[in-house]
Amino acid sequence: VKKIVITAILFFSWELNAQVALPTFQGVQAASEVALYSFSSHTFTNSSATGNTGPTLANCKSSYDVTWENDTDLFNVQTQGIQEWTVPASGTYRITAKGASGGAYPSSSSNQGYPGAGATVVGDISLTLGTVLKIVVGQKPTSTTSSGGSGSAGGGASWVYTGSIGGNGLIVVAGGGGGTGHGQSSNNLAGNGKGGNDANTSNESTNGEYFGENQRRGRGSSGNLGTGYGGQKTAGVTTYNGGGGGAGWLGDGQDYTNYGRGGDRFVGGISEDGATMYGGFGGGGGSGGNGNAGGGGGGYTGGGAGMGFTAVTGGYGNSWGGGGGGGSYTSSSMSSVTMTEGDSGIDQGDVDNGSVIIARQ
């Protein structure tokens, strides 16, 4: 009997110790991140804003149908045109940015040039909850009020960045297309705009180059002030009105005094001679009045304005040049990147604004 009692006591003691010791082998689960709001994707647009200035907060709230637009801690526009979006949860996001095209030529005459389309940039990036992205959507330029054979302004780039303009927080740029240059009715002489580039530098045309979906031969574009900087103003001999260069990330586009001004970061360049050929918001260069060169597209490197009204290489007559397309960019922290150059010399009916799409992966 004593043996049975002792065995029972030992078994009970072992079972009790096992039950008491069991919790010491269980780990403590860390608290999971709580998203600020539900999010899958959103398309940021110009929100009905036109010309050289971007949308207000009211414009965006009228255009977007999302709950987070009503909380300024989650979405805000403190500087007109710069949309501030707060990342709702940590993770991988895909950004698809498209620049705006250059402006439509104001006349249907046979000496018209055709503008360049904006570039498209796609890439994935890891973002942290609470990070504020600043988003600028490129806009197409305004139409001219001039009744003469004029050129057109440059398109704005689309930008995504953190921090301050010109700083180290740049994530994506999709370059804008160049504007058109006035030409002659013979030999297809006119300045086509170049498309936004698939590289950091601007997309420039050369004197006598025959290019574009609607092929034209023009005087070429003026180039840029260095990689990352703005485009140059109209260069060469001119007896009429020059255009301005597109803005770059590190500097504004160059002004053609009293006529087409260069694009700023990010307001488009104006026309100082009374015409309303303003560059598109996002840094597009302005054009001038009656008879003119195309404005440069905004971009990481701004596109140059079209060259002045002189002879085209190859024994042709005189022509203005179309504007250069702006350069594109992606941060080294992005992966699965693709850059697509915008088409040059596109149909007038294809002139359009840019966009920025952000999608959770």
Tens of pLDDT along the chain (361 residues) come to: 434 433 433 333 434 343 434 333 343 444 589 999 999 999 999 999 999 999 999 999 999 999 999 999 999 999 999 999 999 999 999 999 999 999 987 666 667 889 999 999 999 999 999 999 999 999 999 875 555 557 899 999 999 999 999 999 999 999 999 999 988 766 788 899 999 999 999 999 999 999 999 999 999 999 999 999 999 999 986 667 789 999 999 999 999 988 899 999 999 999 877 677 899 999 999 997 666 899 999 999 999 999 998 889 988 888 899 999 999 999 999 999 999 999 999 998 999 999 999 999 9
Q: Which residues contact 135 (CB under 8 A, 6 or more apart)?
A: 44, 82, 83, 84, 85, 158, 159, 160, 356
pLDDT for res 8? 38
pLDDT for res 148? 52
What gap in Å lies between CA 14 and CA 72, rounded to an integer?
62
The secondary structure of the chain in percent helix, strand, coil, rounded to multiples of 5, reads: 10, 20, 70
In DSSP terms, which residues pair with 173 in a beta bridge? 159, 329
**DSSP SS3 for 350:** helix
pLDDT for res 239? 64
pLDDT for res 277? 84
pLDDT for res 139? 99
Residue 180's nearest CA partner among 53, 275, 277 is 277
Tokens 């973002």 label which residue?
Answer: 127
Backbone angles phi, psi at 130, to 5 degrees: 90, -10
Burial category of 253 from C-beta neighbours within 10 Å (exposed 0-12, middle 13-18, buried 19 and up): buried
